[in-house]
Amino acid sequence: MKLWGGRFTKETNQLVHNFNESLSFDQKFYRQDIRGSIAHVKMLAKQGILSEKDRDDIIRGLEGILEDLESGKLTISTDSGYEDIHSFVEGTLTERIGEAGKRLHTGRSRNDQVALDMKLYIRDEIDELDGLVEGLLLELLEVMEKNTETYMPGFTHLQKAQPITLAHHVGAYFEMFSRDRSRLSDIRRRMNYCPLGSGALAGTTYPLDREYTASLLDFAGPTLNSMDSVADRDYLIELLAALSTISMHLSRFCEEIIIWNTNEYRFVELDDSYSTGSSIMPQKKNPDIAELIRGKCGRVYGALVALLTTMKGLPLAYNKDMQEDKELTFDAVDTVKGCLSLFTGMIASMSFRKDVMEASARHGFTNATDAADYLVNKGVPFRDAHGIVGQLVLLCIEKGIALDDLPLEEYRRISPVFDQDVYEAISMKTCVDKRQTLGAPGPEAMKKVIAVYRERLMAQRED
Ligand code: ARG
């Protein structure tokens, strides 16, 4: 059934219908479409544009449709001939309640209707995404709390650099995902204005109360330009950019987990339930989930670039090109939601090999800077200390040992300033403990930061 048959004398070509229809994907927001229609008729009746009886009949009809869709009694089929979810709901309503159903669309266009539905849907999705990021942050915080004294190498250029702790490393991701969360809440706040009542593009001649509709639908207020209201997809572009950034952060972390999980590193062991095997190589236990999350980044970026490109040449106001926003956004949102849950589960079930991490830090000369600082504390100029420790490192590489294992005589042969206390000074524990500036890995500094994170998470929960 079409909402616009009057002007036409021929049936739509079947291929045209198939190409044009959006019911196959916009059925995803049938709840939001019905919710928007209920608010619309409440407003129409309040303004005397619709009788109270028609309002009640329409609301009852819409609630019945919603109930039947939820229970499965009514199904949405693309064979029904409806082109989109708006036609489907209005058509089904009229089939069910007759004349009154035909009054539902008074003072409304599908252009402002679809703008509303998408905003309502996305607002709910942002709330879900926010919950998933929060869940991940809580999980990371737990890993951090347990590992303020788990020493590991910190890297630059993927070369061992200075000792840090696992809490500190994970804390870097805690920061990234916290910013992701605040990006989501910025977007929600900026997009939270109701486009309904903007009509096709130029508002309507009916005396609508747009403030009232906006408040029924929990918006901060109505939008202020009817052309922009039906043509704006900025908030979707912002969302896709935020989702791309979340994907990028997940992908970086996954890359590290994949490296940490190699036979060469063995810093972590993925749980069996989050790994897969090989059909030919019996010894394999592969990090497929981390790889897939890393891989899915591509389609999320793709959605962002696709929508930016779709929008770039569009004259005001509504154009059918904008129907393309749906599948792109739905796919990106669903993909990132999946990645966030899987990633959180993978982290929660993964085990960290603390002994391997610490040994790796020791054998990578991550305490070389501290050995130089030791000499500086005994009066040697830093540039000389740097050279002395460089020679020591070379000697250790030849012998295949760590600085910690080099006998004192060998130290003394290169510089007599060294004493027995050097071992204590370059132990992983000392190296990390001494880094107590705010934001550094020293356990005391770290514990303070963790307490701030916890408090922040709790405060956000109360908001
Ligand atoms: N399916 C359309 C979309 O997603 C709904 C709006 C249709 N409006 C129109 N004038 N054809 O954009």
Ligand 1 atom showing the smallest separation from residue 86 Cα: 5
Residues of the chain with CATH 1.10.40.30: 363-462
> Which amino acid residue places its CA nearest to atom 12 of ligand 1?
323
Angle (CA) 161 165 171, round 5°: 105
Atom of ligand 1 nearest to the CA of 320: 12
Q: Round the average pLDDT of the chain to a whole number and report it.
A: 96
- The residue from 51, 77, 182, 278 that is catalytic is 278
Q: At what angle do helices 110-146 and 234-260 cross, to 10 degrees?
A: 30
> Where exactly does CATH 1.10.275.10 map onto the chain?
5-106
Quote the CA–CA distance of 65 and 89 in Å, as a whole number: 8
pLDDT of residue 445: 97
- Please state the atom number of ligand 1 nearest to the C-alpha of residue 22: 1
Substitution candidate for ligand 1 out of 18, 21, 110, 227 with most atoms within 8 A of CB = 110
Residue 282 confidence (pLDDT): 81
Do 315 and 324 contact (CB within 8 A), yes or no? Answer: no
CATH 1.10.40.30 fits 363-462, yes or no: yes
The Å distance, Cα 86 to ligand 1 centre, comes to 9
Q: Which of 152, 143, 164 is nearest to 450 (CA)?
A: 143
Q: Which amino acid is at 227?
A: M
Decide if 157 is catalytic: yes
Pocket test for ligand 1, best of 7, 114, 121, 196 (most atoms within 8 A of CB): 114
Question: Closest Cα to atom 4, ligand 1: which residue?
Answer: 323
Q: Any bridge partners for residue 154, and if so which?
A: 162
Residue nearest atom 3 of ligand 1, based on CA coordinates:
323
Structure tokens at 201: 């593009």
The residue annotated as part of the active site, out of 71, 157, 273, 351, is 157
pLDDT at res. 285? 83
Pocket of ligand 1 (CB under 6 A): 22, 26, 84, 110-111, 114, 318, 320, 322-323, 326
Residue 347 CB partners (closer than 8 Å, separation 6+): 136, 139, 140, 143
Q: Is the pLDDT of residue 463 over 80?
A: no
**pLDDT tens, position by position, 133-156:** 999 999 999 999 999 999 999 999
**How far from chain centre, in Å, is Cα 162?**
31
Cβ atoms of residues 258 and 287 within 8 Å? yes
Q: What is the pLDDT of residues 376-407, one digit of tens each?
A: 999 999 999 999 999 999 999 999 999 999 99
Listed in order, the ranges of the chain carrying CATH 1.20.200.10 are 111-148+155-359
Quick one: average pLDDT of 249-266? 97
Across the chain, which distance is largest between two alpha carbons, in Å? 102
Question: What distance in angstroms lies between residue 4's CA and the mean position of ligand 1's atoms?
Answer: 12
According to CATH, the topology of domain 111-148+155-359 is: Fumarase C; Chain A, domain 2 (1.20.200)
Structure-block tokens of residue 319: 């154009």
Most informative mutation of 17, 111, 316 for ligand 1 (most atoms within 8 A of CB) = 111
Going by C-alpha positions, the residue among 27, 96, 7, 84 that lies closest to residue 58 is: 96
* Banded pLDDT at 10 (limits 50, 70, 90): confident
Closest atom, ligand 1, to C-alpha of 83: 1
Average pLDDT for residues 221-244, to the nearest whole number?
98
CA of 60 to the centre of ligand 1 (A): 26
- How far is it, in rounded angstroms, from Cα 435 to Cα 443? 8
> What percent of the chain is modeled with pLDDT above 90?
92
Structurally, at CATH architecture level, domain 5-106 sits in Orthogonal Bundle (1.10)
Instruction: Express as a percent the part of the chain with pLDDT over 70.
Output: 100
pLDDT band per the 50, 70, 90 thresholds, residue 3:
confident
Read off the pLDDT of residues 275-296 as tens digits, 9 standing for 90 and up.
888 887 888 889 999 999 999 9
